[in-house]
């Protein structure tokens, strides 16, 4: 093939090399998505924080305890006794409370304090309570003595035997005595005799229960009454009748009345003239 037969190359037109792309569209338009952070796991965070706090508390337990104790469980600053007591009893009570004065407000055993107070012989019962923020309150019910027993003991109306530091202050009380462990019975008989003698104008100074069970009464006027062992109420009524009919006008001359007889009594005069005793038969 000759040169005349080859296809002629078409020369590009000047200034038309390639078609220019449209402005702003040289690359595919892709919209950027903002970066998303993972959501926090609050449950795990809370557990982690709680664990850290627990560990910190355990490591600093003693320090925290020392710091918080004056506010949460303070030491007892005062024990208040509301009952009015004698100086001697107040001192004994304070000594009994001393082991509990250094305790803590919520830790002190109120029942133990109450038992310690009721161990005192002159205390019937004790009431112990807490007074916020750091005090204890004590109310005492004392035994009320109505008679003396022996040299250094006292008796309550229930026949309870107890001692007192200031026994001399009760010398005005009647003196009761009897065999061992008979104070309850003696006290009961004292109350019976007192009730019967009071309308006649007498009060009991001494009451003695003797070994064989007989009773011996001395009144505040010095009159002595012997009752024996039995039929005590009947004998007291007999004395009341004879006292009203025969003895009332001259009772200051009577030293002793013996009521141990079955149907009468014998009177011993302070200054007898004709006979030492006078027998009176009850009608």
Question: DSSP H helical segments within 10-81, as ranges?
Answer: 42-59, 61-72
Determine the pLDDT at residue 19.
57
Question: DSSP H helical segments within the chain, as ranges?
Answer: 42-59, 61-72, 87-97, 110-118, 183-197, 232-242
Q: How many helical (H) and strand (E) elements, i.e. helices and strands, does the chain have?
A: 6, 13
176-281 folds as: Rossmann fold (3.40.50)
Name the residue with tokens 């309150």. 137
Which class for 33: exposed (0-12), middle (13-18), buried (19 or more C-beta within 10 A)?
Answer: exposed
CB atoms within 10 A of CB 135: 15
pTM for the model? 0.62
Evaluate whether the domain defined by 78-142 bears CATH number 3.10.20.310. Answer: yes
Which of 195, 200, 192 has its CA nearest to residue 243?
200
Determine the pLDDT at residue 278.
61
Q: What is the pLDDT along the chain (283 residues), one digit of tens a residue?
A: 444 455 555 555 555 555 555 555 555 555 666 666 677 777 887 788 788 777 776 766 667 666 666 777 889 999 999 999 888 889 999 999 999 988 899 999 999 999 999 999 889 899 999 999 999 999 999 888 999 998 889 998 778 888 877 788 889 999 999 999 999 999 999 999 999 999 999 999 999 999 889 999 999 999 999 999 999 999 999 999 999 998 988 989 999 999 999 888 999 998 755 555 565 555 4
Intrachain domains 78-142 and 176-281 with the same fold = no
Using CA atoms, how far apart are residues 221 and 202, in angstroms rounded to an integer?
8
Using CA atoms, how far apart are residues 194 and 173, in angstroms rounded to an integer?
13
Determine the pLDDT at residue 122.
87
Domain ranges within the chain, ordered by starting residue: 78-142, 176-281
Using CA atoms, how far apart are residues 166 and 161, in angstroms rounded to an integer?
15
Determine the pLDDT at residue 4.
47
């Amino acid at each position: 093939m000759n040169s005349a037969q080859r296809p002629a190359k078409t020369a590009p037109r000047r200034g038309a090399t390639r078609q220019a792309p449209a402005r702003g569209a040289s690359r595919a338009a892709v919209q950027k998505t903002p970066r998303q952070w993972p959501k926090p796991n609050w449950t795990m965070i809370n557990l982690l924080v709680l664990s850290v706090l627990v560990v910190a508390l355990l490591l600093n337990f003693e320090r925290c305890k020392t710091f918080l104790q004056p506010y949460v469980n303070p030491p007892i600053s005062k024990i208040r006794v509301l009952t009015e007591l004698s100086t001697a009893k107040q001192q004994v009570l304070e000594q009994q409370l001393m082991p509990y004065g250094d305790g803590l407000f919520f830790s002190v055993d109120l029942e133990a304090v109450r038992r310690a107070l009721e161990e005192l012989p002159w205390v019937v019962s004790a009431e112990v309570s807490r007074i916020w923020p750091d005090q204890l309150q004590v109310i005492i019910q004392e035994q009320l003595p109505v008679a003396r027993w022996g040299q250094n003991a006292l008796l309550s109306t229930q026949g309870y035997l107890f001692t007192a530091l200031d026994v001399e202050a009760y010398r005005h009380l009647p003196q009761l005595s009897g065999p061992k462990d008979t104070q309850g019975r003696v006290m009961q008989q004292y109350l019976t005799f007192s009730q019967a003698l009071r309308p006649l104008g007498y009060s009991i100074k001494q009451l003695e229960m003797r070994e064989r069970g007989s009773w011996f009464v001395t009144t505040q006027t010095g009159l002595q009454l012997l009752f024996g062992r039995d039929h005590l109420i009947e004998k007291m009524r007999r004395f009341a009748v004879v006292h009203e009919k025969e003895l009332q006008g001259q009772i200051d001359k009577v030293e002793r009345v013996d009521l141990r007889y079955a149907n009468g009594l014998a009177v011993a005069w302070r200054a007898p003239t004709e006979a030492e005793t006078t027998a009176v038969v009850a009608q």
